[in-house]
Every structure is written in C-alpha cells, then in structure tokens.
C-alpha cells in the first residue's frame, strides 16, 4: 500500500514513522514533510489541495492521512472523497467542530455535553456590557482558527477590554476574531482524549496530557504545546466517563446535524471537581500528544484507517504497550512570539536511535543541511522516551534532551511532573 501523510511537523513525523512500520505499507509520502523523515518517506513539495489530489491519483495512493486542521477546515476531504480517493479526516462541515468555536459551543449546549458556560458576541458594545457583570478570570476565544493564538485568559475587566478591542475593532487576528465566545474560567487539570471515528461508532485512545504554557509550573504564554505524556494519570474510570459523556453524544449529535464525524475527534478537557468538561474539540490528532500516543500504540495504523474507511471501527480493539511515553519539545528562544532561526543544532547525531528503540526524535523546525542541522521554526524538535514507568521515561527523556543544544534553546523541565507527583507515596 502507498500512504500519503499531509503536514510537516513532529506530529506528522510520528505518523510517518508509525505507518512505515506497517508490513502492509510499501511506500510513505509526506507533503511537505520534514527532513527527519528522509530515511522512511519520500517528501513531496506540494501543499495545495488540487495538486495533492492529482498527485494521489497519479501515484495511486491507497490512504491519505491529514495531520493539521487547516486543510481539513478548507475541505480537502470533500475534494478527495468526490474523486473517490480514501482520506482520513472529517469533511469541511464536520471539521467546523474545530474551525468554529461558536458552532462547537452551540453544539455542546444542544447535546448536553458539559463545557464552560458561555455567551457569543459579534458586537463589542454588547460584549463589554456583558463582561462588566462577570467574575474574573474570564476566557475570550476567537470563533475562527487562529493557530493556537485565539484564546485569552483575562484577569480583570481592563485585560478583557483590551483583548476585545484588539480582536473586534483592530482586526488583530483578522476575520477569526470578529465573532467571539466569552466563557467562564474552569479550574482543574487538563487532559486530551482522541477517538478514531467512522461516523457511527468510535474507539478511543488512552488519555494523554499536553503542557500548553511555555514555562514550568504552567506559567507564561500559551503555545502549541511544550510537551506531553501518556498514559495520563487520572482515576481509572475517567476515560469511560469521557467516552460516555463526551465522545458518544458528540458522534450522535454530529450525525443528527447531518455532519457525521469521520476521522479523529480530539477532546481537550478540563478535569474539574464536578467531572470532565470540554475546553475545545479538535478534528485531528494533537501535537505533541501524537508523539506519545503513537509510540505506545501496538496496532497497525493501516488497520485502524481501513476500519474507519469501511465503517467498521467497532471491530478494532486498541492495544497499548504497558509503558509510559514522554515528549519534551525543544523550542527557539522567543517562541511563541518572535524568534530567530538558522542556529546550528548540535548533539542529534550523539543519540543512537537504531540502538535505542525507546528513544525517538520527531522533527518540526529542523533543516538538514549538507553536514549540519539548523533551526527553522518555533517548535524545533520533540524528544521522546518510552519507559517501564513514568519516572524512568522522565529520566531517559531528559538525559537525551541534555545531549542536544542550539543557541537560545528553550524547554520545560517539568513535563509529566503532575503525573509523577500523583504516583509518589504521600
Ligand atoms: P483551547 O484552544 O480552547 O483548548 O484553549 C487553549 C488553552 O487555554 C486550554 O488548553 C486551556 O489551558 C486554556 N483554556 C481554554 N478555555 C479555558 C477555560 N474555560 N478555563 C480555563 N482555561 C481555559
Ligand atoms: N496539543 C494541542 C493541539 O494539538 O492543538
């Protein structure tokens, strides 16, 4: 079989790595991919949907797998499906569960899926009038996709007024911010759950935990994700509760709305004292969560994709390694704001990936030049370790992180610490 993975980050590197292990796969292509994939995939320099479709058709690609949300929101699945090509991901109207927060919030309200209380505004005067009477902190979210920059936690009225002005009057995030959701702040611990969905049915993965803030102790600005671990440590029945109270009613609701969800549903959750509440839905795998979920998954990813395509996902039983995985993201100093690129990365060659199968390096902002690696993005590299315990995985991942360096390199030193703390005797 021939597989095409769309995207170019560490999540897509992990997907390519996983597909390449399948005995059913003869060749993996990545569009546009990154140079970390060069020994397992052929990179193609196409990022437009029509040309990708032409490529997939000419190359007789059996399954196309879409990594990021943007092509899904733009309707790549609709184009491929119309042409009779197999592609994993929701169509444009089902992808609205991520691409429109207003759709997602109204949907959750209609189908009684627990989420923060909210109000929607397209008029700044009304929004300001409403927030005057609210308790802070308060959360303001842009309706449209904003590349992880569309959520603002406001500590007081002045903060909120500035955010609303920037979004609704000064066009800071363009059209995405013209309509906003204002919602209550939820307290608790975050978790991510992914469900492989065939429109009618689903199987969900183990729980994982992203670390969205830039700095230790969950401080600093929100980023795309600075690290993740899996399985996340929570009470045993939590996953079942999320399956029953979040994933199942979402699948039912999407079908009822005439937008059956086919692909990967990502529930971003806050585990509050009253139970799990949805912070957001995404229509794809998470980054960096994919970098810890895929290495622990024993099943062949091709089997899962085929079951989605044939609407037989109920026949799949997911099997997991009885281990823990941690991903630490190395980022460029300055990210998520302005940062410099082009710095030489040292130490990648000192990690022997052939010898140590429990260590993985997934590239995102890395350029491979003739005889060196250089930084080319905000999130540069995910260093992943698999261990018999979370503590062992942590030791291993940070031993490897120590071997890599580049100018102004930044990373968190507390990835998975919340989980480890729960495992330690009191
Ligand atoms: P989202 O893109 O909606 O998941 O928001 C990004 C991040 O902002 C989340 O991962 C949370 O850390 C934080 N966040 C979003 N909504 C809320 C909320 N209602 N209460 C507390 N934190 C939130
Ligand atoms: N891990 C956050 C995201 O993928 O959106």
Q: What is the pTM of this model?
A: 0.97
Place of tokens 């401080």: 219
Ligand 2 pocket test, pick from 211, 225, 267 with the greatest ligand atom count within 8 Å of Cβ, gives 225
- Parts of the chain belonging to CATH 3.30.470.20: 189-315
Q: Whose CA is nearest to atom 12 of ligand 1?
A: 212
- CATH class as words, domain 2-94: alpha beta
Q: How far apart are the C-alpha atoms of 331 and 211, rounded to whole Å? A: 13
CATH 3.90.600.10 domain residues, the chain: 324-423
Q: Return the ligand number nearest the Cα of 142.
A: 1
Which pLDDT value is given to residue 45? 97
Tell me, in angstroms, the distance from the centre of ligand 2 to residue 323's CA.
22
Q: Return the pLDDT at 55.
A: 98
159 neighbors 96 (Cβ within 8 angstroms): no
Ligand 1 atom at minimal distance to the Cα of residue 116 = 19
Q: Is 136 in the pocket of ligand 1 (CB under 6 A)?
A: no
CATH of 324-423, one of 3.20.20.450, 3.40.50.300, 3.90.600.10, 3.40.50.2300: 3.90.600.10
Decide whether any atom of ligand 1 lies within 6 Å of the 222 Cβ. yes
**Averaged over 9-30, what is the pLDDT?**
98
How high is the pLDDT of residue 261? 98
Atom of ligand 1 nearest to the CA of 183: 19
Residues of the chain with CATH 3.40.50.20: 2-94
pLDDT bucket at 47, cuts 50 / 70 / 90: confident
Best residue among 149, 226, 286, 382 to mutate for probing ligand 2's pocket (most ligand atoms within 8 Å of CB) is 286
Test site for ligand 1: of 153, 226, 283, most ligand atoms within 8 A of the Cβ = 153
Going from the Cα of 380 to the center of ligand 1, the distance in angstroms, rounded, reads: 24
Question: Could you give the CA distance from residue 64 to residue 46 in angstroms, rounded to a whole number?
Answer: 14
For residue 287 and ligand 2, the question of a CB distance below 6 A is answered with yes
Instruction: Check whether the bond before 137 is cis (ω within 30° of 0).
Output: yes
pLDDT at residue 398 above 90?
Answer: yes
For residue 284, give the 3-state DSSP assignment.
coil
Is 365:377 a contact under the CB 8 Å cutoff? yes
State which of 208, 270, 272, 418 you would mutate to test the pocket of ligand 1, scoring each by most atoms of that ligand within 8 A of its C-beta.
Answer: 270
Per-residue pLDDT of 263-291, as tens digits, reads 999 999 999 999 999 999 999 999 999 99
Statement: 117-184 belongs to CATH 3.90.1170.50: no
Per-residue pLDDT reduced to its tens digit, 227-256 = 999 999 999 999 999 999 999 999 999 999
Q: How far is the CA of 279 from the centre of ligand 1 (A)?
A: 6
Residue 289: CB within 6 Å of ligand 2?
A: yes
pLDDT tops 80 at residue 426 = no
Give me the sheet containing 275-282, strands edge to edge: 202-204, 189-198, 262-272, 275-282
Q: Give the strand pairing for 151-154 and 27-32.
A: unpaired
Question: Which helix (DSSP H) or strand (DSSP E) does residue 142 occupy?
Answer: strand 138-142
Ligand 1 and 268: CB distance under 6 A: yes
Residue ranges of the chain that CATH labels 3.30.1490.20: 117-184
What is the rounded distance in angstroms from the CA atom of residue 406 to the CA atom of residue 400? Answer: 14
Strands of the sheet containing 2-7, edge to edge, are 42-44, 27-32, 2-7, 63-66, 87-88
Pick the CATH number of 189-315 from 3.30.470.20, 3.60.15.10, 3.40.50.720, 3.20.20.80: 3.30.470.20
């Amino acid at each position: 079989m021939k597989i095409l993975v769309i995207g170019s980050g560490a999540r897509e590197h992990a997907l390519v790595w996983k597909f390449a292990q399948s005995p059913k796969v003869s060749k993996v292509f990545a569009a546009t991919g990154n140079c970390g994939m060069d020994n397992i995939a052929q990179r193609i320099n196409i990022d437009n949907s029509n040309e990708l479709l032409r490529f997939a058709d000419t190359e007789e690609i059996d399954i196309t797998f879409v990594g990021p949300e943007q092509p899904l929101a733009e309707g790549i699945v609709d184009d491929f499906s119309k042409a009779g090509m197999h592609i994993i991901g929701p169509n444009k109207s089902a992808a609205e569960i991520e691409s429109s927060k207003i759709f997602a919030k109204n949907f959750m309200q209609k189908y009684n899926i627990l989420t923060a209380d909210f109000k929607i505004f397209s008029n700044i005067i009304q929004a300001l009038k409403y927030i005057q009477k609210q308790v802070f902190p308060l959360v303001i979210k842009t309706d449209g996709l904003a590349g992880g920059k569309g959520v603002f936690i406001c500590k007081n009225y002045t903060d909120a007024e500035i955010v609303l002005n920037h979004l609704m009057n000064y066009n800071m995030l363009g059209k995405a911010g013209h309509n906003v959701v204002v919602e209550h702040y939820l307290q608790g611990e975050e978790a991510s759950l992914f469900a492989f969905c065939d429109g009618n049915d689903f199987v969900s993965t183990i729980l994982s935990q992203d670390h969205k803030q830039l700095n230790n102790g969950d401080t600093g600005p929100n980023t795309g994700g600075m690290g993740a671990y899996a399985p996340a440590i929570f009470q045993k029945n939590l996953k079942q509760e999320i399956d029953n109270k979040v994933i199942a009613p979402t699948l039912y609701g999407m079908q009822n709305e005439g937008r059956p969800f086919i692909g990967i549903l990502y529930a971003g959750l806050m585990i509050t004292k009253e139970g799990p509440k949805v912070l957001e839905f995404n229509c794809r795998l998470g980054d960096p969560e994919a970098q810890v979920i895929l290495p622990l998954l024993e099943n062949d990813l091709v089997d899962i994709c085929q079951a989605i395509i044939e609407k037989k996902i109920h026949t799949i039983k997911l099997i997991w390694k009885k281990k823990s995985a941690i991903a630490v993201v190395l980022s460029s100093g300055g990210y998520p704001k302005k940062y410099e690129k082009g710095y030489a990365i040292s130490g990648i060659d000192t990690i022997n990936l052939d010898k140590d199968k429990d260590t993985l390096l997934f590239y995102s902002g890395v350029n491979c030049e003739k005889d060196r690696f250089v930084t080319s993005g905000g999130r540069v590299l995910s260093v992943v370790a698999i261990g018999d315990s979370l503590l062992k995985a942590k030791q291993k991942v940070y031993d490897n992180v120590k071997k890599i360096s580049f100018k102004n390199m930044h990373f968190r030193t507390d990835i998975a610490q919340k989980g480890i703390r729960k495992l330690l005797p009191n």
